[in-house]
Amino acid sequence: MRAPHYTQRVRTFVSFLSLIVLTSVSIGYSQSDNIEIRLADDVVVRKLAEGVWLHTTYYDLANYKNVPANGLIVIDGQYAVMIDLPWTDAQAGVLFDWVAREQKAAIRKVVPTHFHIDCAGGLAEAHRRGAESFALKKTVELLKKENKPVPQNWFTEKMSLSCGQLCVELAFLGGGHTVDNIVAWIPSKKILFAGCLVKSLNAKNIGNIEDADLDAYPTTLRKVKETFSNAKIVIPGHGRPGGLDLIDHTIKLCNNR
């Protein structure tokens, strides 16, 4: 039986994600980007740049079907890193298989950017496949508290991961959507995976605040924008990627809540 606080969190999560389902449009950041590749009914990928793929997976929550969540797969040669795992172990398996079959690479490292199911749900399958996992120390603590699979390695502020010749930088700049949300930066591609800390332009409110740090949220967003001011693509946890305007939009949502 799930603990009462967990059940309440799921209900809150569902209510705010419903808006995403109702307002989101096709996955992507422009009309000119590459066409999505559907790997399963609930798993699609889309190429953002050479060696960088957006993965979007869908999950049914209570009365809401096909709730989308984004993640990244970074590939260089035979090496791959996954930023945010999908909702389920089955979806993680589909992505691992696709990378091996079509990209001739292996996902060696995975990173959940916070402790919610939409970015840590497939962690057990990643471990089963032999991937090494990394997360903020607070994320490890929160997953352990909820008796979920736990990342194997942790950091407190910043960490760099190698992916072949590419570098993926992880940073915690403060609380917001959750107290443990981090961002991932690919400097050579100028791509920022902001995750659920940042909302898509379709979002009409700040979303799930069950685990949020509302006081720190706007300040954290300003730090993210200043730190990664040369980002060309910014990817939210749900909905369409865009530019730095996604951060500005999320700050407005914070101020208007």
Instruction: Give the active site residues.
Output: 114, 116, 118, 177, 196, 199, 208, 238
Residue type, 42: D
DSSP label of 1: -
**Rounded to whole angstroms, what are the CA distances from 21 to 107, 175, 228, 250?**
29, 25, 29, 18
CB 85 within 8 A of CB 114: no
CB 191 within 8 A of CB 33: no
CB 195 within 8 A of CB 231: no
* 184 Cβ contact list (under 8 Å, min separation 6): 72, 83, 111, 113, 168, 169, 170, 192, 193, 195
Report the C-alpha gap between 169 and 81 in whole angstroms. 12
Report the C-alpha gap between 196 and 177 in whole angstroms. 6
* 218 Cβ contact list (under 8 Å, min separation 6): 251, 254, 255
Element (H, E) at 89: helix 89-102
Report the C-alpha gap between 62 and 234 in whole angstroms. 29
